[in-house]
A and B are shown apart, each in its own frame.
Chain A
Amino acid sequence: MEAGRGWESKTLCLMLVLPFWLAGCAMGSLFQPYPSQAQSWVHPAPGRDASIVQHLERAGKGRDGVLYLQELGLLQQRLGNDAASRTVFADVINHYEHTDAQALIRVTGLASQTGALLINDNALPYRAPDYERIFTYSYQALNYWAAGDVTGTAVELRRAAQAQRMAEQRREKELAKADEDAASVLDLSQYQGYFEGLDLAAGAVKSSFQNAWTFYLSALFWEAHGEYNDALVDYKKALELHPRADWLKADVQRVSRALDGYRQRGIGTVAVLYEQGEVPARQEVSLPIPTPHGLFLVAFPSYSVTSWSAARPLTFHVGEQSAQTRVLADVGALAARNLREQAPGMLIRQVLRATGKYNLQKKANDDFGGAGAFLTQLFNLISEQADRRSWLGLPAYVQAGRISVPVGEQQVLLSSPGGDASVTVPVMERGLTLIHVTERAGRLVTRVLPVQEGPL
């Protein structure tokens, strides 16, 4: 009897320890919500940049490494360390390739799945969603652009377009299957309120990955190099996502005329890319999950639009002329749409986990009385964490605008509610001068990228 009891106590200990072991290096987000970790690089304290970079480099070696490396790549770019950012983003892209090439069923993947079933979804290694991948390619293109490597920029823009195309191809059948699988296990209508909340946050975004900002960036680049056919395709794709944008229609018309041989002389383009605010983090909500023993309240990630900041345009003046940037991608809405797509699978895991946790608690109560039940309750309470991981260094809105101005040195005045700035830029005939504007510590940070012109 004593021996049997000893074996059971070992089993219980093992059950409690096993998930931690299985979760391995993913401990970072297991018990400390990712958004609270990310505060240190989203709102950095003055003079802490070097230590944040070191922290992200260390975290980049863990199981959620790709997430931390994405943060690091963007942080390095914003700190002006383009070469370091390029190296980090190259690692991130290699990671994507590696993940895509992995076997469909993996032993280590099964171990993580088991860990996720016993603890929470944070035990699953982070897999970058398509919208984050597309941002990575776009930022990497800007790194090559800043270094004056035109071929490298073109490669990254092609990769971004390829990622969007492939995501589109596989999306429809994957989503239909995920909903079908979930419906066979759960009554999804019970979660109508939850899904409606996410749909509201996703707003007018049609898909979780299509990014008109990336299309627009590519279109500007191809147009500057006289690749009017490619530019027309990308302007049209941006227009498809914003069908009422008259300014995009004007871009399509201009490039269509250029394809017909009509090109204006003596002017060049000044374009502004504006990254506004910070993407909202996932919030934790309680959802009732049915188990054979009744309803269980579990932690689930969600988005709430009430706390989101509104989009603000940036106005830029060149001489007598002025223009505004417009929102091309609402990153919070992309993230919410992505979560909405993942939700059916997450719900299935939650049902299994809630049942498992209930059984563990009951077993501990039966075998070890109050102390066992208390320990398992404590474990269940601490481990009940929603998966709130997402790339939080991204901006809330990505905007862009362009203006045609005479050739020569031009002074550009930029003004937004976040601050004002002034830069002097060179403008070349049929060339493109790109001003990349970000917000850091409540002020505008501008950088002027090398002018693009002439054939590729």
Chain B
Amino acid sequence: MRVVMAIMLGVALLASGCASKVEYGDPQARETVTPDFGSSDLQMIATKMVDDMMVFPPVVELTRNRRPVLFVDRVKNKTSEHVDTESITDTIQSRLINSGKFRFVDMTVVDRVRQQLEYQQDSGMVDQSTAAQMGRQIGAEFMLYGNLSSIVKRDNSTKDVYYKFTLKLLNIQSGIIEWSGEKEIRKTRSRSLFGL
């Protein structure tokens, strides 16, 4: 009887040990599962870029009495990882909009906006007194663009990854770069000596 009980207990322990579980976590918590580009890197970059830009004196001056219109070009991925750079620029864009200092036009939806305008203008389905007019959009004054590059070094026991994110704000009319920010991140992973 005791043997049966012990086996049952063993099986129960084994089964509970193997069961997968789901938990909610803090999205701002430091993520260090692998040295690859992750959520913490994205958040660090976005925070640094927005903070730098907002306190840069010419930008402070520029936004004192008006909200300039920007558009995000793209951030080139020059790393050896498949990084979604649009996600980084989306976060930066959201924070800049929420600061109340800037406005953005979104170039990724131009085709769909055009379709909607054509529908409102030409389909005969929309009351023309409420229809949005063609040619009334506001032109962007500045362009945000940048690069994400990396240098990876590895030997038998260590992997070192260095990321550099560069973002620039360009005045479309004059071609002058009004501001440029940079964030460096270094991550190192050491292999443990013992493991399963």
Contact = CB atoms under 8 A, between A and B. Distances in A.
A170 B191 contact: no
A104 B77 contact: no
A192 interface: no
B48 interface: no
Contact of A104 (B76, B82, B152, B192): B192
Contacts of A100: 154, 159, 191
A80 B10 CA distance: 49
A436 interface: no
Contacts of A321: none
Given A107-B196, A108-B196, A152-B82, A101 B76 contact: no
A275 B44 CA distance: 45
A106 B156 contact: no
B155 A170 contact: yes
A188 interface: no
A106 B191 CA distance: 11
Contacts of B34: 97, 101
Interface string A162-178: 10001001100010000
B108 interface: no
B189 A162 contact: no
A13 interface: no
A245 interface: no
A1 interface: no
Nearest to A174: B156
A102 B193 contact: no
Given A97-B34, A101-B34, A101-B191, A158 B80 contact: yes
Contacts, number: 52
B81 A104 contact: no
Indicate the size class of the contact surface on chain B: 20 to 34
Nearest to B195: A103
A381 interface: no
A37 interface: no
Interface in B131-152: 152
A108 B76 CA distance: 42
A218 to B, nearest CB: 12
B191 A155 contact: no
Contacts of B39: none
A349 B90 CA distance: 55
B79 interface: yes
B194 interface: yes
A contact patch SS: helix
A170 B195 contact: no
Contacts of B98: none
Main secondary structure of the interface of B (DSSP, over half): loop
B174 interface: no
A150 B77 CA distance: 10
Contacts of B196: 103, 106-108
Contacts of B115: none
Contacts of A174: 156
B141 to A, nearest CB: 24
B80 A107 contact: no
A159 B154 contact: no
B130 interface: no
A75 to B, nearest CB: 23
A375 interface: no
A158 B156 CA distance: 20
B129 interface: no
B80 A159 contact: yes
Nearest to A166: B154
A411 interface: no
B80 A162 contact: yes
B82 A155 contact: yes
B155 A104 contact: no
A95 to B, nearest CB: 13
Contacts of A105: 193-195
Interface string B61-101: 00000000000000011111110000000000000000000
Contact of A102 (B78, B79, B152, B195): B195
Interface in B173-196: 189, 191-196
B16 interface: no
Contacts of B77: 151, 154-155
Interface of A: 97, 100-108, 151-152, 154-155, 158-159, 162, 166, 169-170, 174, 456
17 contacts: A100-B191, A101-B34, A101-B159, A102-B191, A104-B156, A104-B157, A104-B192, A105-B193, A107-B196, A152-B82, A155-B79, A155-B81, A155-B82, A158-B79, A162-B152, A170-B155, A170-B156
Minimum-distance CB pairs A-B, first 6: A103-B195, A158-B80, A103-B192, A159-B80, A106-B195, A151-B77
Given A102-B191, A104-B192, A155-B80, 20 more contacts: A100-B159, A102-B195, A103-B192, A103-B193, A103-B195, A103-B196, A104-B191, A104-B194, A106-B194, A106-B195, A107-B195, A108-B196, A151-B77, A152-B82, A154-B78, A155-B77, A155-B79, A155-B81, A169-B155, A456-B76
Interface of B: 34, 76-82, 152, 154-157, 159, 189, 191-196
